[in-house]
Each structure stands twice: as structure tokens, then as C-alpha cells.
Amino acid sequence: MTPAIGQQTATEATTPEAAVVKICASCHGMELVTDTPRDYDAWHDTVQKMIDRGARGTQEEFGLVMDYLFQNMTPVDINHSDVDMLMGVLHADEKTAQAIIARRTLRPFKDLAELEGSIQGLDKAVLDAKKRMIYFQ
Ligand code: HEC
């Protein structure tokens, strides 16, 4: 994606949360963004559509928006997603993501309870917050 580059302002957002609130909640509420998890490519297309509609920010801010969407609004399939996806979506380190892959290769995970019970190092608050985006297919 090559986002349109807007004018630099004194209040440039510097965190993913600040960027998404600044850029994505100016025309409609944040709930439009937080109601519809979708995969990373689909978020690219959505953000491009919003830029076409007039969303403006710096390239850095759009980078932060994509970070936010990847870390918070992207579904993950625990039994099939790759290591980067597991790390990004579960906010996990590489060792933890690799442990998930090693375990699912032997036997796929059934549900969140089994994931939490068998893998060390996952952040329970993240898992709780993202329950509806974590799949076991
Ligand atoms: C210039 C105004 C504007 C800005 C800024 C804007 N949007 Fe939108 N957005 C709209 C309009 C208008 C609609 C309703 C039309 C539609 O459904 O596509 C919409 C609808 C949506 C939808 C629901 C429709 C769909 O495609 O699923 C999502 C999700 C969304 N916006 C996400 C975002 C995100 C993420 C950002 C920040 C990058 C953003 N919007 C910034 C104008 C804007």
C-alpha cells in the first residue's frame, strides 16, 4: 500500500492507538473499526478505501494504523497461522509461537482453554480481549 501523505502536524500520533483514533475515528466512530475483525490483506484494502474517501495522515501514522489493526483486529487460526501471525496477533514472543506450532503438529488445539493450559508465556489479558478473533480450525 502506498498511502497518501498528508501534511505533518504538531500533533502527529506516535502510538498505534493514538494513530487509529486520530485517523480512523474522525469520520465515523471507532466501533466501525472494532466491530469487524478481518485479515491483514483485507485491512490493507479497507484502509486504502478510507484513503480514497479522504482519510489523511502521514506515512508513519498509516504504518501505526496498520500495526494497530494487525495487533488488535486481525483473526488468527491457532492451528494453521504462521509464526509471524501468531506472534503479532497473540502478542507472543517467537519462542512461544514456536511452542504452539510444535504442539499443534502433534495434535491440533481444540479450544482456548487447551491453548492456555498447554502453552507457557501467553498473555491471558490478550487472549481474553481477542477471544472472538481466535479460531481453532
Ligand atoms: C474521510 C472519512 C473517513 C475516514 C477518515 C475513515 N473512514 Fe471508514 N468509512 C467512511 C465511510 C463514509 C464509511 C461508510 C461507507 C462504507 O460502508 O464503505 C466507512 C466505513 C468503514 C468501515 C465499514 C465498511 C467496510 O469497509 O467494512 C470500516 C471497517 C472502516 N470504515 C474503517 C476505517 C479505518 C480503519 C479508518 C482509518 C484508516 C477509517 N475507516 C477512516 C469514511 C471514513
CATH code assigned at 37: 1.10.760
Closest CA to 2 of 84, 85, 63, 65: 63
Residue 8 lies in a domain: no
Q: How far apart are CA 82 and CA 76, in angstroms?
A: 9
Closest alpha carbon to 44 in 15, 73, 13: 73
Summarize the confidence of residues 105-130 as an average pLDDT.
Answer: 95
- Kindly state whether residues 96 and 67 are assigned to the same domain: no
Q: For residue 43, what is the DSSP state?
A: H
Q: What is the pLDDT of residue 10?
A: 53
pLDDT tier at 9 (50, 70, 90 boundaries)?
low
Cβ contacts of 98-105, under 8 Å, gap ≥ 24: 104/78, 104/79
In this structure, the answer to whether residues 85 and 127 fall within a common structural domain is: yes
Cα separation, 50 vs 23, in Å, equals 10
59 domain-assigned = yes
Residue 4 lies in a domain: no
CA of 20 to the centre of ligand 1 (A): 12
User: Does one domain contain both 45 and 93?
Assistant: no
Ligand 1 shell residues, CB under 6 Å: 23-24, 26-28, 32-33, 36, 46-47, 49-50, 53-55, 65
**CB-neighbour burial class of residue 105 (10 A; exposed 0-12, middle 13-18, buried 19+):** exposed
Please report the pLDDT score of residue 11 as a whole number. Answer: 82
Q: Which domain holds residue 55?
A: 16-72
pLDDT of residue 124: 94
Share of the chain above pLDDT 70, in %: 93
Identify whether residues 36 and 59 lie together within a single domain.
yes
Residue 96 resides in a domain: yes
**What is the position in ligand 1's atom list of the atom closest to the CA of 55?**
5
pLDDT value at position 28?
A: 96
What is the length of the chain?
137
Please check the confidence at residue 41 and state whether its pLDDT lies above 60: yes
**Whether residue 90 sits in one domain with residue 126:** yes
Question: In total, how many domains does the chain have?
Answer: 2
Q: Percent of the chain beyond pLDDT 90?
A: 88
Note whether 44 and 89 are same-domain residues: no
- Reply yes or no on whether the pLDDT at 2 is more than 70: no
